[in-house]
Amino acid sequence: MMADVAENEPPALPSGADEPTPPRGLDAAEYRRFQEFQRFQDYQRFVRQQGGGPPTNLPVPVQPGTVHEPHPVEAQLAGMQQQLARIERVTNPPLWQKILRNKWLHRAVWLVIIVVLATWGLPKLINHYFGGGTDQNPAAPGNLPLPKNQSRELAQHQDDAVTDVYLFIALKQPEHACFYFVGAAGQEFANAVGASTCTAAVQKLERQVTDPGTYQAPILTAQRDLTSPTMAIRSCDFEIGGGPLLGNFVVTQQPDQTWGITSYSKGPSTCPATTIPAPPT
């Protein structure tokens, strides 16, 4: 008989005992209200099992700093449901949030960033600020400093008008290469190469370059008189490797003291070997 009475007794309401530590992201007051709500739900389930209606005389928790006035049970229930939903979001976040909060994922991302900086970013910064040394592979077009003709000025030296043509052929910049041809010289160059325009001729010669790093830097091997306003410059006056010889140029000084190619003629495909005289005995 005593056991039946004990089974029909309702669960005890909060008694103010020590409470466990609240989950991360919740303060103690919110977690206490959540526990009260859970006990309130247990009490409601017990009353329904006994065939009675919802209780109407339960004590209502009061927020700190407010007047101790009773509130309707429905308002208390709605507030607790909101707290329960917030606790549920904090304690059981969606899968994508769990993945983003994973510390191993953070470490993997930082490792990838460090590897990228070490293998690509740092060498690029060193090359940008301190130069790339003697790398024989020229940079891709568009990554170089502005060429001399970008300011719409011709070469400042007789040889530059010719050597820059080699340079921009190696770098695959036909517009820059053709800029140094003045007047009909560009069409003479195109006709000699077998192309319709100077740009098409340069593009045709680009495909014959086998070593752009060597081809873009001809080395002068002949001495000439630099006092004349007009000078004939032959490709055989330079040591050229990694691509085809371009031929013979005539450069003329312009009114602004710059030099441009004013005439062109096709030259030999190879230069005769130079002989070094034997030293006197």
The model's pLDDT over 99-119, given as tens digits with 9 standing for 90+, comes to 777 888 888 888 888 888 778
Question: What pLDDT shows up at residue 271?
Answer: 84
More confident residue, 252 or 148: 252
Confidence of residue 31 (pLDDT cuts 50, 70, 90): confident
Per-residue H/E/C for the chain:
CHHHHHHCCCCCCCCCCCCCCCCCCCCHHHHHHHHHHHHHHHHHHHHHHCCCCCCCCCCCCCCCCCCCCCCCHHHHHHHHHHHHHHHHHHHCCCHHHHHHCCHHHHHHHHHHHHHHHHHHHHHHHHHHHHCCCCCCCCCCCCCCCCCHHHHCCCECCHHHHHHHHHHHHHCCCHHHHHHCECCCHHHHHHHHHCCCCHHHHHHHHHCCCCCHHHHCCCEECCCCCCCCCEEEEEHHHEECCCCCCCCEEEEEECCCCCEEEEEEECCCCCCCCCCCCCCCC
For residue 200, pLDDT beyond 80:
yes
* pTM for this entry: 0.46
Question: What pLDDT shows up at residue 100?
Answer: 76
Question: What pLDDT shows up at residue 79?
Answer: 73
Question: What pLDDT shows up at residue 54?
Answer: 52
More confident residue, 126 or 251: 251
More confident residue, 68 or 181: 181
Q: For residue range 2-19, what is the model confidence (pLDDT) as tens digits?
A: 445 455 555 554 444 455
Confidence of residue 96 (pLDDT cuts 50, 70, 90): confident
